[in-house]
């Protein structure tokens, strides 16, 4: 019996030693070790005291790598020698690490603010992604097959990534007090006088904080344009009517819209104000600059470039 235990201990020790070398020295992205890291909570980095899971980094990278190798039928040699002599695979490794760090910090803040994402929120988000520009919807089964074929994602992987995305968006709204104040100010102005010029509002807001608010006109767009709900909201308005603040699915800010015109081709033209969210990204940048992000593996030199995108 003791011989069997000793052999088992040696085998386990060898496996752990090889796994450590593969993950932390060779920095493998092999499918086997991806599965290992989805089961074992091994760290690949640390951000503000929270461990970044190796499995999250590999999941992010696997998605990009599979797309390159299937949809674009690429290979390492074909894509080598990009900017600065780096391959596109190096860029995606850097971006995968950046996203894993960002999502880990978002989870830390979500815990602090008691923010959670429900299954219904994930289901609703998938409904939006299945909506085509002509207003029809493809089935979830078709989406799942496409994700698996082109990105190597199982349905569980896709839901996990969607949850991460929704959590990051929710945290971005929660922490950005400046954007909240600007959105509230604009809402109050438009409540008092709905005919107030959007350009005048933006000029006033940007005197307080330069380039914090933008205004634009869409031109003619289909009512069913899949942009996270902004155009859909505009399509429900009467000419000259306004709506907002709107928090679209893409989670990039607060929107106020005014419908300008409608034509007979099922198209609309509307103007919008966008209050951008900046605080969360600024916090990430501050953590980088203050040395509060530690990496346990070496990622390509394009890391800094990818992480500032």
The predicted pLDDT at position 298 comes to 87
Q: What is the pTM of this model?
A: 0.84
* pLDDT tens string 87-134: 788 889 999 999 999 999 999 999 999 999 999 999 988 888 877 655
Q: Which CATH architecture has domain 2-175+286-307?
A: Orthogonal Bundle (1.10)
Q: Where do the structural domains in the chain lie, given as residue ranges?
A: 2-175+286-307, 177-277
CB 205 within 8 A of CB 305: no
Mean pLDDT for all residues in the chain: 85
pLDDT of residue 306: 44
**245: phi > 0 → left, psi -120 to 50 → alpha, else beta; which?**
beta
pLDDT one-digit tens code per residue, 181-204: 999 999 999 999 999 999 999 998
Closest CA to 102 of 146, 57, 40, 43: 57
Percent of the chain with pLDDT over 70: 84
* 180 vs 36, higher pLDDT: 180
CA distance 170 to 164: 10
pLDDT tens-digit profile of 149-171? 889 999 999 999 999 999 999 99
Burial state string for 142-170 with b = 16 or more CB within 10 A and e = fewer than 16: ebeeebeeebbbeeebbbbbbbbbbbbbb
């Amino acid at each position: 019996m003791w011989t069997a235990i000793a052999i088992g201990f040696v085998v386990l020790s060898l496996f752990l030693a090889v796994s450590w070398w593969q993950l932390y020295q060779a920095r493998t992205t092999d499918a086997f070790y991806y599965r290992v890291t989805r089961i074992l909570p091994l760290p690949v980095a640390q951000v503000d005291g929270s461990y970044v899971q190796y499995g999250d980094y590999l999941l992010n990278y696997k998605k990009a790598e599979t797309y390159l190798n299937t949809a674009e039928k690429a290979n390492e040699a074909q894509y080598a020698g990009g900017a600065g002599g780096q391959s596109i695979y190096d860029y995606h490794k850097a971006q995968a690490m950046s996203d894993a760090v960002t999502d880990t910090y978002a989870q830390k803040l979500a815990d602090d603010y008691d923010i959670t994402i429900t299954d219904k929120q994930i289901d609703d988000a998938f409904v939006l992604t299945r909506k085509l520009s002509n207003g029809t919807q493809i089935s979830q089964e078709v989406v799942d097959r496409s994700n698996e074929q082109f990105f190597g994602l199982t349905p569980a992987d896709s839901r996990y990534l969607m949850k991460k995305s929704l959590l990051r968006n929710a945290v971005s709204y929660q922490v950005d007090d400046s954007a909240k104040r600007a959105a509230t100010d604009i809402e109050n102005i438009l409540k008092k006088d709905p005919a107030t010029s959007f350009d005048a509002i933006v000029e006033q807001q940007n005197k307080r904080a330069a380039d914090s608010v933008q205004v634009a006109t869409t031109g003619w767009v289909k009512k069913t344009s899949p942009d996270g709900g902004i155009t859909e909201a505009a399509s429900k308005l009467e000419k000259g009517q306004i709506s907002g603040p709107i928090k679209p699915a893409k989670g990039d800010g607060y929107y106020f819209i005014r419908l300008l015109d409608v034509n007979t081709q099922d198209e609309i033209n509307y103007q919008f104000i966008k209050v951008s969210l900046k605080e969360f990204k600024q916090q990430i940048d501050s953590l980088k600059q203050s040395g509060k992000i530690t990496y346990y593996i070496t990622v390509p030199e394009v890391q800094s470039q990818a992480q500032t995108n």
